[in-house]
Amino acid sequence: MESGVESITKPSGNYSTRAPRTAVIGVSGYAGGELARLLLHHPRLTGAIPCFLGRSGDSGATTYLEELHPQLGVPGTAQSHKVHPFNWDFLTDSGIEFLFMATPHEQSREWAPEALARGIRVIDLSGAWRLKEARNHAVYKLEDADPSLAAKLQAEAVYGCPELHREEIRTARLVANPGCYPTSVILALAPLVKAGLLDLNREIICDSKSGVSGAGKATTAKTHFMYAADNFSAYNVFGHRHTGELFEQLHLTPDQIQFTPHLLPIPRGILSTIYTRLKSPSTAEAISKVMEDFYKNGPMVRLHPTPHLPQIQHIVRTNFCDVGFALAKDGKRLILVSCLDNLLKGAAGQAVQNLNVMCGWNEQEGLL
């Protein structure tokens, strides 16, 4: 089918009385498996079982979700959820309205325009559509068959952080799910940046650590057991591809924020420790008030009362982002700590949260 902006339909549908048809491309990965689990148990999708599809190039042989993710199996030996070979006509004939793309950046960049042209709203978990500025998304080295169309869709794409862009997400056709690291940093810093409390002449230091699943399912020399176990290492210093999201969403420059990722020898979870300076001395009560006001309508952010700080063990397998802080006695040095599960609030859970917003449902549905 020929893609084009003119042929793209506008979002429609009343999902308060009926369940939309959903599909997941790339269900074989870690994030894809979590998406499948959440969608299969989502109370609003009862009676509308999601369609699951493999990625381009996957074997055309019949396989089942329960083979890829045995933890999703039901009692007995039944395998009830077939994983279909990827096919556009299958999606159209199935009446798919929302397409989750848990695919590599290149595939998402290529396929999203086609999905939109067929009237399917897209929630993309890759980095293909997150970044507006060319200097930032250049890190992905993406090539577009139709650069003009891609530029129009890039301008339209909404960064899928409900806490920042809830209203735009409601009517969006293309939602770019945030990266896991940026979600942890942005949710901690956004209230303070918006309130103008930070001294941006003093560099913000973001020291972030992630479990190994953040690197995806395919093993590499630095993610297999013999390297990661009993180890702790920094990587991609001054060059991690998620850094552009911090610049664009927090409206900061490379001189104002430094992000360094680390690999933890654990399966999942992210902890970001963020070092900042305030413009003028403040109190813990005043900082708490700023955070509470910002997140009063943000049900998936849990604020820890100072001096208590978040820990990875408390957010694993939840869709919460936990945020806490410590303020020095001088009232100016402020350290924020943010924790989330990289496969849930950092990927699949946030994608379902975006679906909830797009359908007009409570953001927490299917996520608690």
Residues designated as active site: 180
Which residue in the block uniquely carries the two structure tokens 């654990």? Answer: 266
Integer Cα distance of 10 and 12 in angstroms: 6
With H, G, I as helix, E, B as strand and everything else as coil, classify residue 149.
helix
Greatest CA separation for the chain: 64
Integer Cα distance of 42 and 46 in angstroms: 7
Residue 257, CA distances (Å) to 177, 201, 207, 212 in order:
22, 10, 11, 25
When computed from its CA atoms, the radius of gyration of the chain, rounded to whole angstroms, is 20
357 phi/psi in degrees, rounded to 5: -65, -45
- Edge-to-edge strand ranges of the sheet holding 82-84: 63-64, 82-84, 51-53, 22-25, 98-101, 121-124, 174-176, 158-159
Which residue type occupies 93? D
| Helices and strands, counts by H and E, the chain | 12, 15
Is the peptide bond preceding residue 75 cis, with omega within 30 degrees of 0? no
